[in-house]
């Protein structure tokens, strides 16, 4: 296994470190800034607090194959390069150079290779350790040529438009290479706009039941819009993955034959356009419509996490997409039960600082909970919104963030550890919790107990002082333990 060491991690090089971490191999980062180290650890990167210019710190672990010096200060980078050369004489040394020309020359005299602000450091590091630096679409084509049989392209649970469009695009790329490919998902497509997208475009998607999936049904597996099996999908965690396409920062190294993980774009659909055009695949109008809608939704109609690549991809798709269908998708009818759930959440919430937690009551459509969270996030002063609701003896939780340093996916995963399935992305996450477990967590009616446990655990994880919530105790919150017993029969 290739071992890589990063000494110092400036803000300029953070995306490069994330890209390197996504590849197979061992990566360790040493940085003197505690906030940066904690941030990298939160993204699943092995980072330690220490002096990157101290040879003793550098030599604490097994000698690396490649060392990247990537700090902000030129003089510190010079010392770190010297420390690396002393502690790891056989490693290939790559250094980011800044400062006066004389300082750059001194670093260049020590390093095997130097890079500046406009260079892509990730490519240099991966090339030095034997990884391909070809255009991503060419590397994908090589990997697909090595596959045969049935190819399952899996979206995350309850897929959104970005996941749907991306899965269809990768399916078409695979079919162009004579693979028998399917776009697959677990869970439900329950949001009315997402249902409209699938129905109006008559999209061919395969749905699998949780617990009923046989990995042997496919000869090869791909993940789109998420990066690890068993995390936000119902694949077995040890499933062997061949291809990963995602734009979310991973919390752990991603293990696959091909990984295209670009955290600098607003949607996975954007990078899929790059593969479609690079490989000269004819873009079906229905797939183009789904991809365009995926970009619009994930960038909040081009107002969030937007890059020039997203604009370019959308511009390309405009000439292929069915805008009439897209107009109908964006204005679907909304059921009364969804309005009821949103209304319940809007009048029944706890607001502590910038965090809003609310109950949507007992719901008939779990996606209503997510829509209620979206609405609550529009509340003045709110940057984190979490809504829970009850359906068929299960508590569903949906979280959203905007303009916050809270990683809601990681927050919910830790808050509800051992209580069910929880996790998601930095700004969007969900949980599915067994009511029986929550019912044993306190006294009083089950409905009140659910609100107390969910709110208490979230506020504790967010380090927010909290007292008993004011959630109303009515039948919509499954307020009878007899109902819980009936669900278990």
166 and 268 fall within a common domain: yes
- pLDDT exceeds 90 at position 348: no
- Of 63, 134, 55, 53, the residue nearest 95 (C-alpha): 53
CA distance 423 to 405: 16
CB 242 within 8 A of CB 260: no
145 and 98 fall within a common domain: no
167 and 207 fall within a common domain: yes
- pLDDT exceeds 50 at position 473: no
Number of domains in the chain: 3
DSSP 155: P
Looking at residue 378, what is its pLDDT?
A: 86
176 and 117 fall within a common domain: no
124 and 165 fall within a common domain: no
CB 36 within 8 A of CB 48: no
Q: How confident is the model at residue 482 (pLDDT cuts 50, 70, 90)?
A: very low
Biggest CA pair distance of the chain: 78
CA distance 456 to 369: 19
- pLDDT exceeds 70 at position 331: no
CATH number at residue 65: 3.40.50.720
CATH number at residue 185: 3.90.1640.10
| pLDDT, tens only, 206-231 | 999 877 678 788 999 999 999 999 88
CB 122 within 8 A of CB 12: no
- pTM of this prediction? 0.57
244 and 270 fall within a common domain: yes
Region 77-85 average pLDDT: 91
How far lies 172's CA from each of 175, 178, 259, 287, in Å? 5, 10, 18, 9
188 and 154 fall within a common domain: yes
Q: What is the CA radius of gyration of the chain?
A: 24
CA distance 167 to 385: 29
CB 400 within 8 A of CB 384: yes
240 and 302 fall within a common domain: yes
17 and 115 fall within a common domain: yes
First-to-last alpha carbon distance for the chain, in angstroms, is 51
CA distance 442 to 455: 13
- pLDDT exceeds 80 at position 81: yes
Lowest mean pLDDT among 95-104, 161-170, 439-448, 453-462: 439-448
More confident position, 274 or 14: 274
Q: Among the three residues 102, 128, 154, which one is the final residue of a domain in this structure?
A: 128
CA 59-62-66 angle, to 5 degrees, is: 85
For helices 136-145 and 268-278, angle between their N-to-C axes, nearest 10 degrees: 70
Lowest mean pLDDT among 113-117, 166-170, 243-247, 265-269: 113-117
- pLDDT exceeds 60 at position 439: no
Q: Among the three residues 96, 128, 160, which one is the final residue of a domain in this structure?
A: 128
251 and 355 fall within a common domain: no
Q: Among the three residues 292, 310, 329, which one is the final residue of a domain in this structure?
A: 329
CB 239 within 8 A of CB 231: no
More confident position, 196 or 441: 196
182 and 35 fall within a common domain: no
CA distance 441 to 458: 15
322 and 359 fall within a common domain: no
Domain that holds residue 345: 336-488
CB 111 within 8 A of CB 69: yes
- Of 440, 254, 465, the residue nearest 353 (C-alpha): 465
CB 84 within 8 A of CB 69: yes
CA distance 430 to 399: 6
Q: Which span out of 146-160, 204-218, 300-314 was modeled with the highest average pLDDT?
A: 146-160
Please, which residues have CB within 8 angstroms of residue 301's CB and are 6 or more apart in sequence? none
Looking at residue 365, what is its pLDDT?
A: 79
CB 113 within 8 A of CB 91: no
CATH number at residue 358: 3.10.310.30
CA distance 286 to 236: 31
How far lies 350's CA from each of 302, 346, 477, in Å? 31, 10, 16
The two tokens of residue 351 are 């607001």
More confident position, 365 or 204: 204
Burial track 442-459 (b if 16+ CB lie within 10 A, e otherwise): eeebbbbbbbbbbbbbbb
Helices (H), 64-201: 74-87, 101-110, 121-128, 136-145, 161-176, 192-201
């Amino acid at each position: 296994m290739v071992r890589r060491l990063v000494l110092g991690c400036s803000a300029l090089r953070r995306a490069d470190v994330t890209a390197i971490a996504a590849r197979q191999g061992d990566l360790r980062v040493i940085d003197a800034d505690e906030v940066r180290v904690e941030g990298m650890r939160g993204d699943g990167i092995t980072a330690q607090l220490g002096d990157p210019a101290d040879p003793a710190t550098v030599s604490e672990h097994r000698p690396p194959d490649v060392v990247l010096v990537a700090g902000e200060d030129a003089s510190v980078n010079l010392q770190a390069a010297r420390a690396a050369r002393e502690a790891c004489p056989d490693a290939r040394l790559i250094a980011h150079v800044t400062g006066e020309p004389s300082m750059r020359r001194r670093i260049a005299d020590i390093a095997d290779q130097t890079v500046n602000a406009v260079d892509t450091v990730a490519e240099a590091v991966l090339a030095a350790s034997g990884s391909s630096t070809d255009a991503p679409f060419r590397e994908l084509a090589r990997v697909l040529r090595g596959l045969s049989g049935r190819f399952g392209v899996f979206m995350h649970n309850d897929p959104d438009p970005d996941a749907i469009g991306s899965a269809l695009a990768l399916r078409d790329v695979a079919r162009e290479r004579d693979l028998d490919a399917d776009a697959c998902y677990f869970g439900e497509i329950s949001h009315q706009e997402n249902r409209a997208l699938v129905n109006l475009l008559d999209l061919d998607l395969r749905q699998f039941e949780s617990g009923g999936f046989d990995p042997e049904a496919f000869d090869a597996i791909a993940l789109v819009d998420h990066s690890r099996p068993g995390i936000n999908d119902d694949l077995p965690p040890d499933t062997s993955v061949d291809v990963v396409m995602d734009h979310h920062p991973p919390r752990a190294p991603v293990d696959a034959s091909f990984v295209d993980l670009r955290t600098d774009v607003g949607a996975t659909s954007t990078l899929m356009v790059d593969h479609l055009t690079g490989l000269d695949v004819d873009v079906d109008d229905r797939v183009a419509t789904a991809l365009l809608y995926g970009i619009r939704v994930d960038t909040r109609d081009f107002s969030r996490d937007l890059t020039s690549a997203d604009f370019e991809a959308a511009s390309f798709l405009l000439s292929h997409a069915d805008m009439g269908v897209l107009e109908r998708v964006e204005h679907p009818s909304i059921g009364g039960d969804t309005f009821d759930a949103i209304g319940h959440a809007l009048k029944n919430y706890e607001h502590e600082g910038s965090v809003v937690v609310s109950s949507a009551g007992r719901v008939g459509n779990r996606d209503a909970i997510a829509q209620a969270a979206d609405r609550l996030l529009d509340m003045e002063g709110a940057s984190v919104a979490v809504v829970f609701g009850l359906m068929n003896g299960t508590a569903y939780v949906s979280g959203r963030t905007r303009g916050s340093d809270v990683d809601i996916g990681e927050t919910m995963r830790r808050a509800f550890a051992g209580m069910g399935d929880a996790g998601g992305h930095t700004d969007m996450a969900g949980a599915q919790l067994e009511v029986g477990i929550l019912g044993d967590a306190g006294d009083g009616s089950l409905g009140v107990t659910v609100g107390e446990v969910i709110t208490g655990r979230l506020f504790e994880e967010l380090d927010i002082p909290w007292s008993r919530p004011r959630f109303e105790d009515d039948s919509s919150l499954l307020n009878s333990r007899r109902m819980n017993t009936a669900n278990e029969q």
